[in-house]
Chains A and B, each alone.
Chain A
Amino acid sequence: MFGARAVPPEATWQALIAFDPADPAQGIIRGLRLPRALTGLACGAALATAGVIMQSLTRNPLADPGLMGVNAGAALAVVAAIWMFGPQDIAALAVAAMAGAGIAAAAVWKLAGGREISASGALSVRLPLAGTAISSLCLSLVAAAVLLNTEAREHYRFWMVGSLGQASTDSLLTLAPVAVAGILLGLACARGLDALALGSDLASGLGARPGLIAGAALTTVTVLSGTAVALAGPLGFVGLIIPHAARAVGGTRMSLTLLAALPLGAAMVLICDTIARVAARPSDIALGAVLALIGGPAFMFLLSRVLGPAR
C-alpha cells in the first residue's frame, strides 16, 4: 500500500486474493511490492538468526554475522563478476555473491583453526581475528578493483548500499528454500549451542560434540547471511541488534531466542524498508541507509548498556 505510488487497500487486497493482471495497481502489488516484502521478511529473519548464533558461539554480544567474512566475500565476488563478465542481471550477481560468501567463510573457518580450535574453546578469540583479516583482504581488493574499473564502480555502488529495490519473484523463489533450510539447521543446533555456552569442556561432559556444533552453527551463519547478501546486498545492524531483543524474550534458551529472532528481524527490515520507500516519495532511499540511520544510534545505546558505566 505504501510506496512511491499509493495503492488503495482494496486493490492490495484484491491483488492478493483475486489477481487481475489488467489493473496496474494490482500489478504493482503482485509484481513489485509482494516480492519486495517477502524478500525483506526472508532477509530480516535470516540475518537475525545468523546474528543470534554468531553472538552465542563467539560469546561476544557485539559480534555480527559479518564476522564470518560473508559480506566482504560477497562484495568481492560481485565486483569480480562485473569486472570479468561485464554488467550482470541481479540473479547472476546473487549467485556470485552467494559463492563469494561461501568461499570467504570457508577461508575464515580454516584460518581460525577449524574444528580442532572450536573443540578447544579458543573460537571466541580466533574467529573474530580471522574474520577481520579475511574481510579486510576482500575489501581492499574490492577497493582496488572499483578504482581501476569504472563500470564495476557504478554497479558496485548500487549493490553495496543494500536495498530491496531489485527484489524479484525469481530470486526469491530460488533463495527462499535456502534460507528456510538455514533457519531449520540453526534450530537443530539450538540445544548444542546451549551446551556450548557453558564452555567446551562442560559441553563435552554433557555429551555434546563441540567441533560438530561449531561447524554446523557456522555453516548456518554462512548460509543465512549469504542468502541475505545475495538477495539485498549487505544489510547492517539487523544481525547485531535483533539478537539482543530476542534474548530479552528467549533468555538463555537458544531455541526460544531463535524463534523470537525470526519475527523481530523480519519486522525490523520491513519497517525500515517501508520508511525507505515513503520518506522521500516518489523516490526510494536505500534500505541500507535507513538501517544505518536507525541501527547506528540503537547500536550506540546497546554498546553503552553492554559496556556499563565507566569506572
Chain B
Amino acid sequence: MSVSIENLKVSLGGRSILKGLSLDLPGGEVSGLIGPNGCGKTTLLRSIAGLLPLQGGSISWRHRQVAQMKAGERARQIAILPQSAQAPEGMKVADLVARGRSPHLRPFRPMSRADRDAVQRALADVGLEHLGDRPVAALSGGQRQRAWIAMVLAQDTPLVLLDEPTTFLDLPHQVDILRLARRLSTEHGKTVVMVLHDLNFAARFCDRIAALKEGQLVAEGAPETVLTQQTIGQMFGMTCRILSDPRHNTPFVLPD
C-alpha cells in the first residue's frame, strides 16, 4: 500500500535529473519532498504520476508498476495537481471540478448522477459549495487553489500528488491549503505526496519528509530526524539552528 521507488533514473532534455533514487512513501500518510531549486522534487513527483519516461529503475504503487498502467486506469489511481495550474478562460468552478470525473466517464456518455454527486461532495469538502457557478477567475487565490483541490478530490484516487500547492498564497491561505491537504489523508484516507518549499510547514504538516539534493536522496524519515543542522547544511549549504515548536512539538528551522 505504498509508493516504492527503486533506483530511479530520469533525464529531461538529455540532462540527468534523478540519479538512482530509492525511496518508500508509506500509504495513508502525508509525505513532503523538500530540497533546493532544481534538485528534482518536481521531476520526482511527475515521475510518480507516470508523466515522464524512466531511464532506469522503477516506481510502483500498490505493488503495480506505474509505467505499465494504462492511462485511464492510472488516472483512477493517481491524481496530480501541477504547480500554478491555469483554468481555461471563462470556466466555472463546478465545471473545473467536474473535469476531475473524466477518468470515470464512459466514452461519449454524459456524467451520471453519481458523477454529479461526487462533484457536489468535492465542492462541499473544500467549502466552495456556494461558489460552483462563479468563474474560476473571479475567485481569490486561496479559493482558486481550493477549487483545484476539489477537482483532485472529484477524481477520487487513493494517491494524490501536489506540486507546491501553496505558491503565490498569503500566509493564512497557505496554512488553510495545507490543513486541507492533511485532511485528504486523515479524513479521506488518501496517500498524499507534496512538494514544499517551506521547511517549517513541511515539519508541521507532513508525517514524513524526503530531502533531495542534485537528484539524490539526502535524508528521509520523520520531520525531527530529517530536519537537522547536518541535513540542512548538506542540502542548502546553509547554517541554521533547530528549535522546537512548543505547540506542535515539531522542529522549527531558524536560518543563521
Chains A and B are bound partners: yes
Q: Which residues of A contact B46 (CB under 8 A)?
A: 201
Known: A202-B80, A205-B79, A206-B155. A247 touches B102 (CB 8 A): no
Partner of B50, one of A204, A208, A251, A253: A204
Q: Majority SS of interface residues in chain A?
A: loop
The answer to whether the Cβ of B138 comes within 8 Å of any Cβ in the partner chain is: no
- In the complex the two chains form, is B82's CB within 8 Å of A201's CB? yes
- Could you list which residues of chain A lie within 8 angstroms of chain B, going by C-beta atoms? 59, 61, 191, 194-195, 197-199, 201-202, 204-209, 247, 251-253
- In the complex the two chains form, is A205's CB within 8 Å of B102's CB? no
List B residues 55-87 near A (Cβ within 8 Å).
71-76, 78-82, 85-87
Partner of B71, one of A199, A209, A251, A253: A209
User: How many chain B residues touch the partner (CB < 8 A)?
Assistant: 31
In the docked arrangement, what's the CA distance between A266 and B49, Å? Answer: 43
CB-nearest residue of chain A relative to B91? A252
In the docked arrangement, what's the CA distance between A58 and B102, Å? Answer: 22
- In the complex the two chains form, is A247's CB within 8 Å of B90's CB? yes
- In the complex the two chains form, is A202's CB within 8 Å of B74's CB? no
- Known contacts A198-B85, A251-B92, A252-B91; 13 additional CB pairs below 8 A are A59-B88, A195-B102, A197-B88, A198-B87, A199-B86, A202-B82, A205-B51, A206-B75, A206-B155, A207-B71, A207-B72, A251-B90, A252-B95
In the docked arrangement, what's the CA distance between A191 and B72, Å? Answer: 13
- B190 to chain A minimum Cβ distance, whole angstroms, is 15
In the docked arrangement, what's the CA distance between A61 and B90, Å? Answer: 12
- In the complex the two chains form, is B102's CB within 8 Å of A194's CB? yes
- B48 to chain A minimum Cβ distance, whole angstroms, is 11
- In the complex the two chains form, is B99's CB within 8 Å of A206's CB? yes
Q: Which residues of B contact A209 (CB under 8 A)?
A: 71
In the docked arrangement, what's the CA distance between A252 and B99, Å? Answer: 11
Closest 5 CB pairs of A and B: A207-B75, A207-B103, A205-B80, A207-B72, A252-B91
CB-nearest residue of chain B relative to A247? B90
- In the complex the two chains form, is A198's CB within 8 Å of B88's CB? yes
In the docked arrangement, what's the CA distance between A83 and B67, Å? Answer: 54
- In the complex the two chains form, is B100's CB within 8 Å of A199's CB? no
CB-nearest residue of chain A relative to B95? A252
- In the complex the two chains form, is A194's CB within 8 Å of B71's CB? no
In the docked arrangement, what's the CA distance between A202 and B85, Å? Answer: 8
- In the complex the two chains form, is B51's CB within 8 Å of A198's CB? no
CB-nearest residue of chain B relative to A209? B71
- B135 to chain A minimum Cβ distance, whole angstroms, is 10
List B residues 201-235 near A (Cβ within 8 Å).
none
Q: Which residues of A contact B105 (CB under 8 A)?
A: 191
Q: Which residues of B contact A61 (CB under 8 A)?
A: 89
Partner of B95, one of A191, A201, A251: A251
CB-nearest residue of chain A relative to B148? A202
- B10 to chain A minimum Cβ distance, whole angstroms, is 14
- A215 to chain B minimum Cβ distance, whole angstroms, is 15
A-B contact pairs, 12 of them (CB 8 A): A59-B88, A191-B102, A194-B102, A198-B99, A202-B82, A205-B79, A206-B75, A206-B155, A208-B71, A251-B90, A251-B92, A251-B95
In the docked arrangement, what's the CA distance between A59 and B88, Å? Answer: 8
- In the complex the two chains form, is A201's CB within 8 Å of B102's CB? no
Q: Interface digits, B85-127 against A, CB 8 Å rule (1 contact, 0 not)?
A: 1111111100100011011010100000000000000000000
Most chain A CB neighbours (cut-off 10 Å) among B50, B73, B87, B105: B87
- A195 to chain B minimum Cβ distance, whole angstroms, is 6
Q: Which residues of B contact A204 (CB under 8 A)?
A: 49-51, 71
In the docked arrangement, what's the CA distance between A201 and B43, Å? Answer: 12
- In the complex the two chains form, is A194's CB within 8 Å of B76's CB? no
In the docked arrangement, what's the CA distance between A229 and B107, Å? Answer: 32
Q: Which residues of A contact B103 (CB under 8 A)?
A: 206-207
- B64 to chain A minimum Cβ distance, whole angstroms, is 16
Q: Which residues of B contact A195 (CB under 8 A)?
A: 99, 102
Q: Which residues of A contact B74 (CB under 8 A)?
A: 207
Q: Which residues of A contact B76 (CB under 8 A)?
A: 207
- A243 to chain B minimum Cβ distance, whole angstroms, is 13
- In the complex the two chains form, is B88's CB within 8 Å of A205's CB? no
- A187 to chain B minimum Cβ distance, whole angstroms, is 9
- In the complex the two chains form, is B85's CB within 8 Å of A208's CB? no
In the docked arrangement, what's the CA distance between A197 and B85, Å? Answer: 11
Known: A195-B99, A206-B75. A252 touches B82 (CB 8 A): no
In the docked arrangement, what's the CA distance between A59 and B49, Å? Answer: 24
CB-nearest residue of chain B relative to A204? B51
Known: A201-B46, A204-B51, A205-B79. A252 touches B71 (CB 8 A): no
List B residues 24-58 near A (Cβ within 8 Å).
46, 49-51
- In the complex the two chains form, is A201's CB within 8 Å of B51's CB? yes
Partner of B78, one of A199, A205, A253: A205
CB-nearest residue of chain B relative to A119? B51
Most chain B CB neighbours (cut-off 10 Å) among A195, A202, A204, A208: A202
Known: A197-B88, A198-B87, A201-B51. A208 touches B102 (CB 8 A): yes
